[in-house]
Structure 1
Amino acid sequence: MAELDAKPAAAEKGTRTKTNKKSIRVDLTAMVDLAFLLITFFILTTTLQKPKTMDLVMPDKEGDHTMPVPESRTMTVLIGAKDKLEWFMGSPAKPLSTPVVDGFGKDGIRKALLAQSERVKQASNGEDMIVLIKAGAHSNYANIVGIMDELNIANIQKRALVDITPDEVNLLKRDHIEE
């Protein structure tokens, strides 16, 4: 609330009379209360960022879960250090295409995924491509999430996270992707 304090001017001995000067004092208690109420309201009504998780279906530890995969429909993606990856079609022992060092993004692995997926569908009467993802020792979790995102964008549903073999580690070292 605002208050006006009127103080009478002191009477002087002259003929002139002074006008009363009023001091203004503004009480900001209500404004502070309102500010705290608004802050409390906005804190309580905002939604906190929900944690984002990635769903992975992993097989049980027990039993042998290996199944033959046709090499002509298989693309292997090796994730190395420094946000780089290497991909090839077929198996590491006898690749159907030369290994290509690539990066992430629309001009990198996404372009390769889309092109190879289309080529596999045409060659195998509409069968989907299978992508094997193998992470090197110096790859990071963000790159695994990145390749999963790229597979979702390319609409490739058949994928597997597989352990990397020593031959594939040597391939990454040869191309200076793994340390």
Structure 2
Amino acid sequence: MENLPKKVRSKKLNTRVDLTAMVSVSFLLIIFFMVTIELAKPKALVLESPDHGCCDCPQYYRDHGENRSVTLMLGEDNKLIYYMGFLESPITSPKEIKYGKDGIRKELLKRKNVLLEHSAKGVKPESLIVIIKPSKKSNYGNLINILDEMKIAKIETYAIVPEFTPKETELLALK
């Protein structure tokens, strides 16, 4: 037999594909779409309004919102003035009070307890609303002290409002 040329067989290459990167990308895409779907869901605020047609609605001795609101005005030199209701016809006249346990904290807890006493049985008691008005001349430490008092007295509904009415500005300027 003659020397026939041998057939050259081609070398078989490895057909295995590494999918590690593909798995990582797919997990990232899944997480991305899960987060975007969650953020795209519409959020609704539940608005509760009282039913005035029932007979066991709480009877407040004064206007509902006015009875629940206390305004704290922070002035210069650690001056703190509070009143309850509207300034034009306050439930509690504007008074200067001190910071701390025997001052504003005692007053806030007293007001909170009065609201609890006047709430109807079986109905969630209304919470006290505190409006904090720091003046431009008040210091940052006083605002922090008032926010600490809100936490200590467990008052959840409060707002920091930097605007003053002309009557409030006059009241802070006294003394």
Cα distance in 1 between the residues matched to 2:173 and 2:140: 20
Instruction: Tell me, yes or no, if the aligned pair for 1:121 and 1:129 is still in contact at 8 Å.
Output: no
SS at match of 1:170: helix
Ranges of 4+ aligned residues in structure 1 off by more than 3 Å? none
Residue matched to 1:78: 73
CA-to-aligned-CA distance 1:94-131 (integer Å, 9 cap, x gap): 11111110111101111111111111222244211100
* Higher alpha-carbon deviation: 148-157 or 132-141: 132-141
Residue 115 of structure 1 aligns with an amino acid whose one-letter code is K
Matched length:
107
After superposition, the CA RMSD in angstroms is 1.3
Deviations 1:119-171 (A, max 9, x none): 12222442111000001221011111110000100000000011222211111
**Correspondence 1:158 to 2:157:** yes
Q: For residues 137-156 of structure 1, what are the structure 2 equivalents within 5 Å?
A: 137-156=136-155
SS of residue matched to 1:149: helix
Structure 2 counterpart of 1:89, one-letter code: M
**What letter is aligned with 1:134?**
K
1:83 alignment partner AA: N
SS in 1 for 2:92: coil
- Give the Cα–Cα distance (whole angstroms) in 1 for the partners of residues 119 and 69 of structure 2: 12
Structure 2's unaligned 5+ residue stretches are 1-63
Q: Which TM-score applies when normalising by structure 2?
A: 0.58
Structure-2 separation of matches of 1:123 and 1:88 = 19
The amino acid of 2:152's aligned partner reads I
**1:165–1:124 CA distance, 2 compared to 1 (3 A):** farther
Question: What is the identity percentage for the equivalent residue pairs of Structure 1 and Structure 2?
Answer: 39
Instruction: Select 2:112's aligned residue among 101, 112, 117.
Output: 117
Indicate how the Cα distance of structure 1 residues 93 and 124 shifts in structure 2: closer, same or farther if over 3 A, else same: farther
Computing the radius of gyration over CA atoms, which structure comes out larger, 1 or 2?
1
Q: 1:87 aligns with which of 52, 61, 82?
A: 82
Note if 1:131 corresponds to 2:126: no
